[in-house]
Amino acid sequence: MGDSMVRFGIIGVAKIAKKISRAIALAPNATLFAIGSRSIEKASNFAFDNGLSSEVKIYGSYEVVLDDPDVDVVYIPLPTSLHLRWAVLAAEKKKHVLIEKPVALSVVELDMILEACKVNGVQFMDGTMWMHSPRTAKMKEFLCDAKMFGQLKSVHSIYTFEVDSSFLANDIRTKPDLDGFGALGDIGWYCIRAILFAADFKLPKKVIAFPNPVLNESGVILSCGCSLFWDDGKLATFYCSFLEYMTQNMTVIGTNGTLHLTDFGIPYTEKELRFYTNSKYGFIEHVASSKPLPNIHIIPTDLPQEAHMVMEFSHLVKQIKENGSKPEEKWPTMSKKTQLVLDAVKASLDRGSEVVEVGQM
Amino acid sequence: MGDSMVRFGIIGVAKIAKKISRAIALAPNATLFAIGSRSIEKASNFAFDNGLSSEVKIYGSYEVVLDDPDVDVVYIPLPTSLHLRWAVLAAEKKKHVLIEKPVALSVVELDMILEACKVNGVQFMDGTMWMHSPRTAKMKEFLCDAKMFGQLKSVHSIYTFEVDSSFLANDIRTKPDLDGFGALGDIGWYCIRAILFAADFKLPKKVIAFPNPVLNESGVILSCGCSLFWDDGKLATFYCSFLEYMTQNMTVIGTNGTLHLTDFGIPYTEKELRFYTNSKYGFIEHVASSKPLPNIHIIPTDLPQEAHMVMEFSHLVKQIKENGSKPEEKWPTMSKKTQLVLDAVKASLDRGSEVVEVGQM
């Protein structure tokens, strides 16, 4: 735990916090400094279950984590309905904010969070881990290749996994008062992000949800889909569901080539990531390929994508702390664009698949 | 050319006829007997260009092919607007009918063709080649596996290829008087068939086209998509386009597993076909797999899928000719169900993405 380490505090012991505490341990520039839950007991259990170092501070409330002057960053895996309160409070306490998705219940709430971060000069980033994978950077290279890929025409994403009856009965993602977006906010978020990523973060103009989403008895979305349209003719579709076997497809089609993978959210393996391309201009150098099968791009990496996320966030925090840099605008902008589309899709679903214009930046 | 060979006549020398003449040459139970075009010269050129045997009869009209008593089967690759006339006439001349897709301009026309085939006791089959691939049978095995795959939840298909300016200006698939379905009839047909195949040929109840299809100046579809719904909650989506790089995705999601391939229409290679599955019950015996990557199913085959189609068709024709069997109902039924969905999608597109009920059998 050198001085140059960025010190993380975690508020809330959701399952995802386990993944992030491991990522913090793996990231060379970050350290887990404190963990807070609504009771000391829950926090202690989490520390014990995850084999945390005895140096990690255990707190029985979220506030104490925010009040600890040695905490640089607060990671917030709380239910979405609590994000506004705790993210704003964290920013006001000058903590940098790493927060789980969906970031907020609406773009209005998100704007309040982002404003608090801006006013207090802290970095904001949402927990979309796959954005930080070295594979994602390589995919972007292909999508930016005017020859191999050409102009973007359409993007299609599917993200499903099958939950069990306990999840359906108890998980926060099925509770309207905790996380009203359900599957749309949890995994539809990834689809929307994949679409925006492929579209170089140009927002679609309008969306129209597929009719007949599956809702639970409280009206929370369990399955839904949507088509999205840009003014220049680009189109995207996505489909997400809590009721179907694990599928994580991203297909991006250009005029000259196609990019494809079936594990974009959580890769099949941590250390050897793959994606597939086809192109009318044939093969890319340094890519294993077997004509006429697709090009297979293999990206070795020493760290899982969530550790890359923690590293990137910690790097930005250090730039701010040590060099007086401004927070990086790119990450809050991505979150806001994703939330703008999310809100439009939700509105279309709520209005029986009406066409809804996407709010613009 | 033994007596037991089924003798094919081809009427029309469309590009696809080249593929089928090769398939007939490869199929052990079929022989190309005659080729007819609107002029002797065109038919001769086709024979020369494709190195056809000098024994193949060259005719300067379609009628002469139909009138040749030695022709058993007529393969019809003509523009869709001519199908009704020539398929009915072929059936009336007691020729078995193998016909390109889309089969007809509407299910009303298709019913007239099927009725003519029924009355005249001839076999009917459309030219959806991939249905006859040995890979398709293996995929069906997986989809029927109640444990590995479970219950079908959703199907997603994409079929695109990018045409050039000459195609856009001249191809029959862009002419409203020849083939009014455009990309929907040409490649959307494959998507619809993939969806029906995965749904065990249970027809969806209703469809709603994506808004904003791309049409050419004559109103012919160049890009479009649709969502499809069954009463039991199953959902499907497809997207097809003449304006995007070659993509042929089929993703079928069940409660316990997923099937996936990116070359379902025309396989990457003729002799080693692949598809991919994931399942919560792990691996299928006799399948090359590398945990936790998807199972890779490799199906070797000696013949391309179009030769399998010609073999299957010829087999049925021989059963009828030699054993007095009835024509196999399965193939016309598949064609009709595909056309019923096609008509509903076209109606939804024409009505600005209204919900349209699918006609039932």
Q: How far is B30 from chain A (nearest CA, A)?
A: 29
* A237 with B237: Cβ contact below 8 A: yes
The stretch A65-85 carries a mean pLDDT of: 97
CA distance B211 to chain A (A): 8
Looking at residue A200, what DSSP letter applies? T
Cβ atoms A242, B207 nearer than 8 A: no
User: Regarding predicted confidence, which is higher, A272 or A35?
Assistant: A35
- At A247-264, the pLDDT tens digits run 999 999 999 999 999 999
The answer to whether the CB atoms of A150 and B245 lie below 8 A apart is yes
Integer angstrom CA distances of residue A140 from A77, A146, B78, B185 = 28, 12, 43, 34
Contact at CB, B245 and A257, closer than 8 angstroms:
yes
Q: Which of B225, B229, B237 sits opposite A239 (nearest CB)?
A: B237
C-alpha to C-alpha distance for B91 and B117, rounded to whole angstroms: 5
State whether A237 and B210 contact (CB < 8 Å).
Answer: yes
List the single residue in B160, B246, B280 with the smallest CB-CB distance to A245.
B280
**Percent of chain B whose pLDDT exceeds 90:** 87
Amino acid at B312: E
Crossing angle of helices A330-350 and A107-119, rounded to 10°: 160
Rounded Cα–Cα distance for residues B324 and B320 (Å) = 5
CATH dotted code for A6-129: 3.40.50.720
Please say if the pLDDT value at position B268 is more than 60: yes
**Cβ <8 Å between B355 and A223:** no
Task: Indicate the residue of B211, B227, B276 with minimum beta-carbon distance to A225.
Answer: B227
pLDDT, mean of residues B193-201: 98
Q: Which residues of A touch B255 (CB under 8 A)?
A: 162, 243-245
Nearest in space to A193 (alpha carbons), one of A208, A182, A204: A204
First to last CA, chain B: 40
- The whole-number pLDDT of residue B292 equals 57
Q: What is the per-residue pLDDT across A10-69, written as a single tens digit (0 to 9) for each?
A: 999 988 889 999 999 999 999 999 999 999 999 999 999 999 999 999 999 999 999 999
Give percent of chain A with pLDDT exceeding 90.
Answer: 87
Q: Select the residue of A211, A245, A256 nearest B253 (Cβ to Cβ).
A: A245
pLDDT of residue B284: 52
Q: A131-305+339-357 architecture in CATH?
A: 2-Layer Sandwich (3.30)
Distance from CA of A282 to the nearest CA of B (A): 12
- Tokens representing A261 are 């993978």
Do residue B210 and residue A214 have CB atoms under 8 angstroms apart? no
The domain spans of chain B are 6-128, 131-305+339-357
- Mean pLDDT value of segment A207-234: 96
Average pLDDT for A84-99: 98
| Chain center to CA of A346 | 18
The answer to whether residue A1 scores a pLDDT higher than 50 is no
Interface list for B 117-136 with A (CB within 8 A): none
Minimal C-alpha gap between A123 and chain B (Å): 36
Chain A CB contacts of B278 under 8 Å are 245-247, 262
Residues 208-237 of B with CB under 8 A from A: 208, 210-212, 214, 223, 225, 227, 229, 233, 235, 237
Distance CA B338, CA B107 (A): 9
> Residue A285 pLDDT > 60, yes or no?
no
Q: Nearest CA to CA, how far is B224 from chain A (Å)?
A: 10
Residue A8 has pLDDT above 90, yes or no: yes
Flag the least confident range among A244-253, A275-284, B73-82.
A275-284
Q: Report the run of H or E that residue A161 belongs to, with start and end.
A: strand A152-162
Query: What pLDDT, on a 0 to 100 scale, did the predictor assign at position A284?
Result: 52
Res A286 pLDDT > 70: no
pLDDT tens-place string over residues B287-318: 444 445 778 889 999 999 999 999 999 999 99
Average pLDDT of the residues in B30-37? 97
Q: Read off the pLDDT band of A288 (50, 70, 90).
A: very low
Residue of A nearest to B249 (CA): A251
Q: What are phi and psi of A79, to 5 degrees?
A: -55, 150
Domain B6-128 CATH (choose: 3.40.50.720, 3.30.565.10, 3.20.20.70, 3.40.1010.20): 3.40.50.720
pLDDT in tens, B40-68: 999 999 999 999 999 999 999 999 999 99
pLDDT tens track for A127-183 = 999 999 999 999 999 999 999 999 999 999 999 999 999 999 988 889 988 888 999
Give how far A309 is from chain B: nearest CA, Å.
Answer: 23
Confidence class of residue A291 from pLDDT cuts 50, 70 and 90? very low
The nearest CA of chain B is from the CA of A162 a distance in Å of 7
Can you give the pLDDT at residue B286?
A: 45
> Alpha-carbon distance A115 to A109, whole Å?
10
Q: Taking residues A327-336, what's their average pLDDT?
A: 98
Q: Cβ–Cβ of B254/A245 closer than 8 Å?
A: yes
Q: Are A16 and A39 contacting, i.e. CB atoms less than 8 angstroms apart? A: no
Across the strands, what pairs with B258?
B253, B278
Residues of A in contact with B154 (CB under 8 A): 160, 239, 241, 244
What average pLDDT does the structure give for chain B?
94
Element (H, E) at A125: strand A124-126
How close, in Å, is residue B321 to chain A by CA atoms?
Answer: 41
pLDDT confidence of residue B280: 87
Question: With an 8 Å Cβ cutoff, is B289 touching chain A?
Answer: no
CB distance B225–A223 less than 8 Å? Answer: no
Q: What is the mean pLDDT of chain A?
A: 94
Put simply, the answer to whether B245 touches A229 (Cβ < 8 Å) is no
Task: Indicate whether B110 pLDDT > 70.
Answer: yes
Does the beta carbon of B156 lie under 8 angstroms from any beta carbon of chain A?
A: yes
| CA–CA gap between residue B227 and residue B282 (Å, rounded) | 30
> Which conformational region is residue A324 in: left (phi greater than 0), alpha (psi within -120 to 50 degrees), or beta?
left
- Mark yes or no for CB contact B160/A253 under 8 Å: yes
Over residues A59-83, the mean pLDDT reads: 97
Instruction: Confirm whether the ipTM is greater than 0.90.
Output: yes
Whether B12 shows a pLDDT value over 50: the answer reads: yes
